[in-house]
Structure 1
Amino acid sequence: MNSIVVSSIIFASVFASALVGMAVRRALPEDHVGSDAKEVVRLATGLIATMAALVLGMLVSSAKSSYDARKNEVAEMSSEVLAIDRSLAKFGQETGEIRTEFRQMVQAGLDRIWPSQSSRQAELRPGNYSETALNELELLAPKDDRQAAAKVQAISMVVSLKQSQWLMFLKSEQNAVPLPLLVILVLWLAAIFVSFGLFAPPNPTVVVTLALSALAVSSAMFLILEMYTPFSGVLRIAPTPILDALSQMGH
C-alpha cells in the first residue's frame, strides 16, 4: 500500500463525512436534532470512538514493534557480516580473495536495499551471493584444527545470515494492514465524523477544526503504514550498521 495515497483517501473520506453530516442537519426537522437525539447520538458515537481508538492503538503498537524488529534485524545482520569476515581472517591468507568477494557481496546488498538512486525501489529479496560464498568456503582445505574450526564457524554464520535475509524478505512481503480491517476502521471514523457534522454549527471555525481532526486521524494511519514499510518512505531505516560493518571489513 502506498502510505501517502491511502492516508489521503482516509482524510478525504473522513472530512467528507463531516460535511455530509452538516448537509444532513439542514434537511432534518428540528426535533430530530434536539437534546434527546443528541444524547443518543453522543452515546453511540462514544461507543464507536472507543472501538476505533482501541484498533488504532493496536495498529500503532503492532507497527512500532514491526519497525523495531526490522531495525534490530539490520543491526544483527551487520554483526553477522563482521563476524564472518573475522572468521575468514582467522583462517589465514588463503581466504583473501573470498573476503574481497564477500565484501563486494555486502556492498551489492547495501545498494539493493538502500539504492543510491531515488528512482529505484528497495529490493529485499536476497541474491545468490551466499550460495557462491558457501561453495568457496567448502572448497577450503584446513591445515590444522584452528583453520578447521574457523571454516566450520564461517560456514555456519553464512547459512545463518542467509536465513536472516530470507526471513526479513518474507516478513516484508506480508500485507501490513489487512484491507477489511482498514475499511471497517475508516467506516467507524466516517460514522464518528458524520455525528460531529450533524450537531456542529456550520461556520468556518468548526469546518477548520473538523479538517484538522481528519488530518490527525489520517496522519496516524500514514505513520502506521510507513512503519510497516521500513525500507522505503519517510521512516526508512538508516543503513548505518551495514556501513559501519563495511568500514571494518578487510582489516
Structure 2
Amino acid sequence: MYAARVLPDSHLNSEARDVIKLAMALVATLVALVLGLMIATAKGTYDAQTSAIRQLSANVLLLDRDLDEFGPEAQHPRDLLREVAALMLQRLWPADGAAPASLAPDEARPQMQAFVSEVTSLSPQNPKQQYLKTLALQLTSEIARARLQLYVQGGSELPLPFLVIMAIWLIVLFCGYGLIAARNPTVLVFLFACTLSVAGAVFLIEELVDPFGGIVRVSSAPLQDVITHLGQ
C-alpha cells in the first residue's frame, strides 16, 4: 500500500492493474492447490495413526478376553499384557505432557518378550484351549505389527523448501493485493483476516503431520479405555 502511494500513476494504470490481477490469480491458484494437497496428505497421516491406535487397542482387549477364556493358568500373561499396554500408553502420551511422545517400538520389548514366552509356554488341554492359544499368538503378532506401523508412519515435518516457497508466493500475493486495494480500515481488517486464515492453514498442516505432538493429537481414549477393562 505504501508502494502504491509513491509509485507514478503510469505504473498503476488500468493496463498495469490487469496484469497484476492476472499474476495474482496465477499465484493464488498455485497456493490453493499446494495447500489443499498438503492438508489432504497431512490429514491422511493423522487418520492412519488414529486407525492404528484403535486397531491396536481392539487387539489388546480381544487378546485379554481370549486369555481369560483360556483359564486361570493364563492369568500371569494377562498381567504382563496390562503392563505392556500401560507402558505403551505412557510412552505415546507422557503423563506430564512435557516429554515428547516416543514412537520407538523397543520401549516395551522386554515385557513383550516375556509375554510371548508366557503365552508360548501355555499347555492346552483340549481343542478349545489350543484354538485360544493359536489365536492369542496371532493377536500378539498383530499388536506388534500395529506398533511398528505407528513407528514407520510416525510424525514428520514440513520440508523447509516448501515453507520458503510458500512464504514467497504469499508475499507476492499480498503485495499484489496491497498495490490495487483501497487504503481504508475495512480493507486492512479484511486483508489481516485473510492473512490469519492462510497462516491457520499452514499451522493445521504442521499439526496434522505430527499426530503425537503439538495441539492436535491422536486421542489416547481408546487405549485408556481398554486398559481399564484389562484383567476384568
Q: TM-score, normalised by structure 1?
A: 0.84
Match of 1:113 in 2: 92
Please give the per-residue CA displacement for 1:42-96, whole angstroms capped at 9, x wherever unaligned. 0111011011111111112222222222212111111000111112112211111
Aligned-partner SS, 1:195:
helix
Match of 1:169 in 2: 151
Structure 2 counterpart of 1:57, from 23, 29, 36: 36
- The answer to which structure, 1 or 2, has the higher relative contact order (CA under 8 A, 6+ apart) is 1
Please give the per-residue CA displacement for 1:199-243, whole angstroms capped at 9, x wherever unaligned. 234444433332221111001111111112222222222211112
Structure 2 counterpart of 1:240, from 221, 225, 230: 221
Aligned-partner SS, 1:191:
helix
Find the aligned partners of 1:52 and 1:142 in 2 and give their Cα distance: 62
Find the aligned partners of 2:213 and 2:124 in 1 and give their Cα distance: 43
Stretches of structure 2 that go unaligned for 5 or more consecutive residues are: none
Find the aligned partners of 1:119 and 1:168 in 2 and give their Cα distance: 20
| Amino acid corresponding to residue 49 of structure 1 in structure 2 | A
Aligned-partner SS, 1:197:
helix
Match of 1:143 in 2: 125
Match of 2:203 in 1: 222
| Amino acid corresponding to residue 86 of structure 1 in structure 2 | R
1:83 equivalent in alignment to 2:62? yes
Match of 2:25 in 1: 46
Match of 1:102 in 2: 81
Stretches of structure 1 that go unaligned for 5 or more consecutive residues are: 1-21
Please give the per-residue CA displacement for 1:11-32, whole angstroms capped at 9, x wherever unaligned. xxxxxxxxxxx33334422201
Find the aligned partners of 1:119 and 1:110 in 2 and give their Cα distance: 15
Moved more, 121-130 or 191-200: 121-130
Q: Is the contact made by 2:20 and 2:176 (CA closer than 8 Å) also made in structure 1?
A: yes
Q: Over aligned residues, Cα RMSD in angstroms?
A: 1.7
Structure 2 counterpart of 1:154, from 97, 111, 136: 136
Q: Is the contact made by 2:49 and 2:153 (CA closer than 8 Å) also made in structure 1?
A: no
1:122 equivalent in alignment to 2:101? yes
Find the aligned partners of 1:117 and 1:29 in 2 and give their Cα distance: 60
Matches within 5 A, 1:192-203: 192-203=173-184
Moved more, 146-155 or 43-52: 146-155
Structure 1 counterpart of 2:113, from 128, 131, 134: 131
Find the aligned partners of 2:63 and 2:153 in 1 and give their Cα distance: 24
Moved more, 204-213 or 82-91: 204-213
Identity of aligned residues (%): 34
Find the aligned partners of 1:79 and 1:160 in 2 and give their Cα distance: 11
| Amino acid corresponding to residue 69 of structure 1 in structure 2 | A
